[in-house]
Amino acid sequence: MSRKGEPGQVAAASGLDPRPDAAQFLMDVDRRLPITVVSGSGCMLRSASGKQYLDLVAGIAVNLLGYSHPALVEAICSQASRLINAGDMVHTEAQIELARQLVELTFPSRAFFCHSGAEANEAAIKLARKWGKLRKAGAYEIVTAVDSFHGRTLAAVTAGGRPRNSDPFTPLPPGFLHVPFNDIEGIRRVTNSNTAAVMLEPILGSAGVIPASAGYLREVRQWCDENHLLLIFDEVQTGLGRTGSWFAFEKYGVKPDIVTIAKGLGGGVPIGACLASPAADVFVPGDHGSTVGGNALACAAAFTVLQTIESESLVENAASVGAYLAAGLRTLAPQEVRGTGLMLAMDLRGPVARALQEKCLEMGLLINVIGDRTVRFVPPLILTRAEVDTAVEVMASALAALEL
């Protein structure tokens, strides 16, 4: 280490915002905004140069409690002072308690913990394949939706229905079939004796917040029951209050056999989970694992995130502030506003999303864009109506300044 800082602090190398050396040291995997953030509080982020940003992105649907939430900070510090990680050869109280809590929030099941959404889906895919071997004469195919997103591991990126994410990495693992979303006929058409599972996001998040229609998921459930298929819901983005209910599957009244959770679970601390009902819970020791996944620190953080969502009524807040935000966005006269709770998207009338994002950034507002005309809103669940008013005002001024 050539630069020394105080313990617990990364030394400020340049004080510049953006840092000119970022591209020298970091792989070019994400199109990042030209700011370097150093701290946050509530829904506000502060950059290295001291500028404040109201954040409607939350690390893309991750920081459910915003930044520096006292309960989360306290839980992390307290757990860190006792036990960060004990490895996967032993049990920890924190992991068992978190699993119990998640099972109570979902359906009778057991949990496997990892670090991310992609890994949670990887676990679900492996469960489906092993289940097919054991219970369905070697069936291994998994049906997923065109334009869905399930993460970046090789299996998850293959499961996802976006060739631009998977094409650079061919040959891909076999056994994934992509069908149009919201069209039960697609699933019916490709189902055969090799089909083991259907895997869906209840609301396509990265494709621009495209909700399943009310009847679709019920039809999929029925089809899975009739044809002896597992139903996997990827609730990595929709789970944990984001849509104004604990899980999107509750909104639709459709229970999956396996659900995957990550993103917001640790409030920013990496943790993912795959929960499987008894029928799908086919792993035995040696089938799967993670050395540090579900360590005591991450589990204690996640436990506190769940408790705080409950104690601060954040599911209800997501529903009501989400409706308020949707109404505010409609005053901006976009082409369309869609979504539910605090998982919303706004289609603009032209290919101006990036220009709007840049202008908003200049004006202290962080928004996320998808493609060239869609803005996605997945803010912390603690967002207030006053913050919505500020955000809508900023976007109105930005649109006016850009003459859009």
Ligand X SMILES: Cc1ncc(COP(=O)(O)O)c(C=O)c1O
Binding site for ligand X (CB under 6 A): 60, 116-118, 121, 149-151, 201, 205-206, 234, 236-237, 262-263
Which is nearer to ligand X, 231 or 262 (by Cβ)? 262
* Residues 6+ positions from 185 with CB-CB distance below 8 Å: none
Angstrom distance (rounded) from CA 50 to CA 37: 9
Active-site residue 133, yes or no?
no
Q: At what angle do helices 93-105 and 296-311 cross, to 10 degrees?
A: 40
Q: 276: closest CA among 93, 96, 73, 112?
A: 112
Q: How many CA atoms lie within 13 A of 5 on its CB side?
A: 7
Which is nearer to ligand X, 51 or 338 (by Cβ)? 338
Angstrom distance (rounded) from CA 376 to CA 83: 38
Instruction: Select which of 130, 251, 263, 359 is catalytic.
Output: 263
Instruction: Select which of 149, 176, 181, 233 is catalytic.
Output: 149
Active-site residue 359, yes or no?
no
Assigned token pair, 86: 């004990």
Least Å from the CB of residue 270 to ligand X: 8
For 46, the enclosing helix (H) or strand (E) is strand 44-47
Phi, psi of 137 (to 5 degrees): 55, 40
**What is the DSSP code (8-state) at residue 363?**
T
Instruction: Select which of 55, 113, 130, 234 is catalytic.
Output: 234
| Nearest residue to ligand X on Cβ basis | 117
Least Å from the CB of residue 274 to ligand X: 11
Which is nearer to ligand X, 46 or 162 (by Cβ)? 162
Least Å from the CB of residue 147 to ligand X: 12
Active-site residue 88, yes or no?
no
**What is the DSSP code (8-state) at residue 364?**
T
Least Å from the CB of residue 271 to ligand X: 10
Least Å from the CB of residue 152 to ligand X: 6
Which is nearer to ligand X, 232 or 280 (by Cβ)? 232
> How many residues in total does the chain contain?
404
Angstrom distance (rounded) from CA 400 to CA 382: 28
Which is nearer to ligand X, 201 or 387 (by Cβ)? 201
| Environment class of 225 (CB within 10 Å of its CB; exposed 0-12, middle 13-18, buried 19+) | exposed
204: which strand partners? Answer: 210
Which is nearer to ligand X, 47 or 238 (by Cβ)? 238
Least Å from the CB of residue 272 to ligand X: 6
Catalytic sites, residue numbers: 149, 234, 263
